[in-house]
């Protein structure tokens, strides 16, 4: 599958090249709702350190992880840490998906809630989180530009926004297990998700033929996914991408998913610049809180679809 490979370093240039990249982003967001990024400013060393420190965290004795877990709250909106260990049972198959969820913006407000073990966890995840946030801000500007909204459209609101990072660890299934999927099909709630994968597994739904397509993770690249809030903000010009993750059969697969959002209670509306008499507003506004709440509500279907006018 040929997703565009966006060279982020070219966005820093005031040139023809920049406009080519913006165009690439525009096409990718319209066609796939996803693209790769390279030269993205998150160094290989920072990436490897973040992966390693999460692997070491997941390898800690259960007792120790539980202790850390108990410090966290299970409240989906607790403005803190939250470390969840999830074991989902489907039929008789047990699937082990461990995850750590970290709030990360403003950084100083949350770092004190992050795990203290391994000892270098905060330092290494902190570096990754800060660098990937910087990338998120750059991409947000480029995406706004690709919608002809101007590079500073809603920039301040986005800068203040919520940044949530989830480290996922998926154990391989037992040979008898029929489970092949680590994360069921869904779209992400935010503006964009920036995904780092230890090994391939991500699949996206091809809107053209309705088939799942495996998305490779070329060396040094990160994957960017369009979320529900960007679909809404763009008045449906961009579509949030349905995706799922398959399990790796032999090794534990890890991923770091970095969700970039507006502030929890900021109500996002379709940009008025993207509506006109012959192109009316196509969604009711909603906040990040509404979108997250809906995931846990047991409601059928997605909030973003129910908000369609």
Q: Which residues bind Ni ion (CB under 5 A)?
A: 188
Report the relative pairing of strands 5-7 and 34-38 from DSSP bridges: parallel
- What is the smallest separation between the CB atom of 203 and ligand OGA, expressed in angstroms? 9
- With contact defined as beta carbons under 8 Å apart, do 36 and 3 qualify? yes
Partner in contact with 266, chosen from ligand OGA, Ni ion, none, beta carbon below 5 to 8 Å by kind: none
Measured from the CB atom, the residue of 141 and 242 that comes closer to ligand OGA is: 242
Measured from the CB atom, the residue of 124 and 253 that comes closer to ligand OGA is: 253
Specify the residue for token string 């500007």.
141
- With contact defined as beta carbons under 8 Å apart, do 217 and 268 qualify? no
CA 260 – CA 278 distance, rounded (Å): 31
Q: What is the largest CA-CA distance in the chain?
A: 61
Measured from the CB atom, the residue of 34 and 42 that comes closer to Ni ion is: 34
- What is the smallest separation between the CB atom of 98 and Ni ion, expressed in angstroms? 16
- With contact defined as beta carbons under 8 Å apart, do 132 and 57 qualify? no
Measured from the CB atom, the residue of 29 and 167 that comes closer to ligand OGA is: 167
- What is the smallest separation between the CB atom of 57 and ligand OGA, expressed in angstroms? 16
Buried b (16+ CB within 10 A) or exposed e, 100-130: bbbbbbeeeebbebbbeebeebbebbbbbbb
In 192-246, alpha helices (H)? 228-233
- What is the smallest separation between the CB atom of 80 and ligand OGA, expressed in angstroms? 19
Measured from the CB atom, the residue of 142 and 202 that comes closer to ligand OGA is: 202
- Contact positions vs ligand OGA (CB under 6 A): 166, 168, 183, 188, 195, 197, 201-202, 243, 245, 255, 257
Partner in contact with 168, chosen from Ni ion, ligand OGA, none, beta carbon below 5 to 8 Å by kind: ligand OGA
Partner in contact with 227, chosen from Ni ion, ligand OGA, none, beta carbon below 5 to 8 Å by kind: none
- What is the smallest separation between the CB atom of 254 and ligand OGA, expressed in angstroms? 8
- What is the smallest separation between the CB atom of 212 and ligand OGA, expressed in angstroms? 13
CA 237 – CA 139 distance, rounded (Å): 17
Dihedral (CA of 202, 203, 205, 208) sign: positive
Specify the residue for token string 């391939």.
200
Measured from the CB atom, the residue of 281 and 302 that comes closer to Ni ion is: 302
């Amino acid at each position: 599958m040929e997703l565009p490979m966006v060279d982020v370093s070219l966005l820093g240039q005031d040139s023809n090249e920049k406009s080519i990249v913006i165009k690439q982003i525009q096409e990718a967001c319209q066609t796939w709702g996803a693209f790769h990024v390279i030269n993205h400013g998150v160094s290989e060393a920072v990436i490897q350190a973040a992966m390693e420190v999460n692997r070491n965290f997941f390898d800690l004795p259960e007792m120790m992880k539980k202790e850390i877990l108990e410090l966290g709250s299970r409240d989906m909106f607790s403005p803190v840490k939250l470390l969840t260990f999830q074991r989902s049972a489907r039929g008789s198959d047990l699937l082990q998906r461990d995850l750590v969820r970290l709030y990360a913006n403003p950084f100083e407000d949350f770092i004190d809630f992050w795990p203290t073990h391994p000892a270098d966890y905060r330092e290494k995840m902190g570096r990754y989180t800060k660098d990937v946030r910087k990338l998120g801000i750059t991409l947000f500007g480029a995406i706004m530009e690709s919608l002809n909204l101007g590079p500073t459209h809603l920039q301040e609101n986005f800068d203040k926004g919520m940044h949530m990072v989830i480290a996922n660890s998926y154990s391989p299934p037992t040979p008898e297990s029929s489970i092949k999927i680590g994360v069921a099909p869904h779209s992400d709630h935010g503006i964009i998700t920036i995904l780092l994968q230890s090994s391939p597994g991500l699949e996206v739904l091809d809107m053209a033929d309705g088939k799942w397509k495996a998305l490779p993770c070329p060396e040094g690249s990160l994957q960017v996914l369009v979320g529900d809030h960007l679909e809404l903000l763009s008045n449906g010009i961009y579509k949030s991408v349905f995706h799922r993750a398959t399990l790796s059969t032999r090794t534990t697969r890890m991923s770091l998913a970095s969700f970039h959002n507006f502030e929890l209670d900021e109500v996002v509306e379709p940009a008025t610049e993207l509506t006109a008499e012959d192109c009316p507003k196509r969604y009711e506004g909603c906040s990040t809180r509404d979108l997250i709440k809906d995931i846990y509500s047991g409601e059928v279907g997605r909030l973003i679809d129910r908000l369609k006018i």
